[in-house]
C-alpha cells in the first residue's frame, strides 16, 4: 500500500526542504510537431493524497509539476485516423532512494481529470483519444513520494491506422495538406502496408528516408 511506503520515508521528508509546485513548460501537438519532452527535479517532498478519492495539487502543501498542453489538429482527424491517441509517459532519470513514487494525471480545459495513472512506482503512463480542433490540457506530475529524485516525461501524438474507408492517395493528400511531417506521413502509410519497402522497421525507415506518401493499400 502506498501509505505504508510513505511512512517509511516520512523522516527523510521532514528533514528535507519544502517542495513547491512548478510549471515545467508548455507545448502544442500538431501533425508536424508530434512529440516533446519535459523534465523536473531534483524534488524533495510528498503529495500523498488518496488516489482512490482523487489526487490533489495545492502549492506548497500538495506539490505537483504542471505542463500546459495544447493539441491543434485537423477537424477531420477522426475521419482519417479514428484511433489517434495522445500519450504521456513518465519515468525517473535519477532516484537516490530507488523508491520514488510519482503519479500522473491529464486534465481537460475544464479541469476535469480525463486520464490518471497511480501505480506504486516512478513509471507512469496515460493516453486519451486525440480530438480534432484546438484542445487545451494540463499534465500534472504528482510528487506522491519523492526524495531527491528527478524525472523525464514524453508527450506524443500517435495516429494509429488510417480509416479503412480511405485510400492511400486520400490519406497521403490529407496528411500533406495538413502539414504533416515527412516522417509522420511515411509512418502512417507504412503502418497500413507493412510489407512495403521490406516491411517492418526496415520498411518504415526506408519510407521515411525516401519520403514516399502512397504505396498501394487500396485504390
Residues 178 and 109 in one domain: no
Residues 40 and 136 in one domain: yes
Least confident segment among 21-30, 65-74, 86-95, 170-179: 21-30
Q: Please report which confidence band the pLDDT of residue 216 belongs to, taking 50, 70 and 90 as the band edges.
A: very low
The predicted model gives 61-67 an average pLDDT of 89
Q: CA-to-CA distance for 131 and 135, rounded, in angstroms?
A: 7
Q: Report yes or no on 39 lying in a domain.
A: yes
Residues 82 and 44 in one domain: yes
Q: Report yes or no on 216 lying in a domain.
A: no
pLDDT: which is higher, 37 or 193: 37
The predicted model gives 68-88 an average pLDDT of 98
Residues 102 and 11 in one domain: yes
pLDDT exceeds cutoff 50 at 199 = no
pLDDT single digits (tens) 5-34: 544 444 444 444 444 568 899 999 999 999
The pairing of beta strand 22-29 with beta strand 64-73: parallel
Phi-psi label, residue 13: left if phi above 0, alpha if psi -120 to 50, beta otherwise: alpha
Least confident segment among 40-49, 148-157, 192-201: 192-201
pLDDT of residue 61: 79
Q: Report yes or no on 163 lying in a domain.
A: no
The predicted model gives 102-110 an average pLDDT of 97
pLDDT exceeds cutoff 90 at 51 = no
Burial (CB < 10 A; 0-12, 13-18, 19+), residue 67, is buried
pLDDT of residue 9: 45
Q: How many domains does the chain have?
A: 2
- Sign for the pseudo-dihedral over CA of 165, 201, 77, 180: negative
Residues 28 and 98 in one domain: yes
Residues 29 and 60 in one domain: yes
> How much of the chain, in percent, has pLDDT values that exceed 70?
76
Residues 113 and 17 in one domain: yes
Q: Report yes or no on 215 lying in a domain.
A: no
Helices vs. strands in the chain: H and E counts, helices first = 6, 8
Asked if residue 108 lies in contact with residue 136, where contact means CB atoms within 8 angstroms, the answer is yes
Asked if residue 144 lies in contact with residue 48, where contact means CB atoms within 8 angstroms, the answer is yes
Residues 53 and 136 in one domain: yes
Q: Report yes or no on 35 lying in a domain.
A: yes
Domain boundary among 115, 140, 158: 158
Count CB neighbours of 157 within 10 A.
20
Q: CA-to-CA distance for 168 and 68, rounded, in angstroms?
A: 35
CATH number of the domain residue 42 falls in: 2.60.120.380
Residues 50 and 112 in one domain: yes
Q: Report yes or no on 218 lying in a domain.
A: no
Q: Report yes or no on 49 lying in a domain.
A: yes
Residues 125 and 185 in one domain: no
pLDDT of residue 52: 63
Residues 177 and 76 in one domain: no
Q: Over the chain, what is the mean pLDDT?
A: 82
Residues 118 and 176 in one domain: no
Q: Report yes or no on 176 lying in a domain.
A: yes
Its domain, for residue 196, covers 168-210
Write phi, then psi, for 160 (nearest 5 degrees). 75, -160
Q: Cα dist. 162→9, 68, 190 in Å?
A: 48, 28, 11
pLDDT of residue 194: 56
Amino acid at each position: 500500500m502506498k501509505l505504508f511506503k510513505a511512512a517509511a520515508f516520512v523522516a527523510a521528508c521532514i528533514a528535507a526542504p519544502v517542495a513547491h509546485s512548478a510549471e515545467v513548460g508548455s507545448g502544442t501537438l500538431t501533425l508536424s510537431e508530434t512529440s516533446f519532452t519535459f523534465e523536473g527535479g531534483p524534488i524533495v517532498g510528498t503529495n500523498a493524497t488518496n488516489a482512490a478519492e482523487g489526487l490533489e495539487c495545492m502549492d506548497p502543501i500538495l506539490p505537483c509539476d504542471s505542463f500546459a498542453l495544447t493539441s491543434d489538429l485537423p477537424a477531420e482527424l477522426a475521419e482519417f485516423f479514428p484511433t489517434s491517441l495522445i500519450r504521456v509517459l513518465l519515468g525517473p532519470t535519477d532516484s537516490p532512494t530507488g523508491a520514488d513514487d510519482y503519479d500522473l494525471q491529464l486534465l481537460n480545459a475544464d479541469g476535469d481529470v480525463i486520464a490518471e495513472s497511480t501505480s506504486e512506482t516512478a513509471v507512469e503512463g496515460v493516453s486519451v483519444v486525440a480530438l480534432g480542433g484546438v484542445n487545451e490540457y494540463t499534465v500534472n506530475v504528482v510528487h506522491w513520494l519523492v526524495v531527491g529524485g528527478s524525472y523525464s516525461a514524453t508527450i506524443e501524438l500517435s495516429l494509429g491506422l488510417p480509416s479503412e474507408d480511405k485510400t492511400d492517395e486520400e490519406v497521403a493528400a490529407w496528411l500533406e495538406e495538413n502539414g504533416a511531417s515527412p516522417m509522420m506521413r511515411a509512418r502512417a502509410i507504412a503502418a497500413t502496408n507493412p510489407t512495403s519497402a521490406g516491411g517492418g522497421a526496415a520498411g518504415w525507415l526506408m519510407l521515411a528516408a525516401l519520403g514516399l506518401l502512397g504505396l498501394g493499400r487500396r485504390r
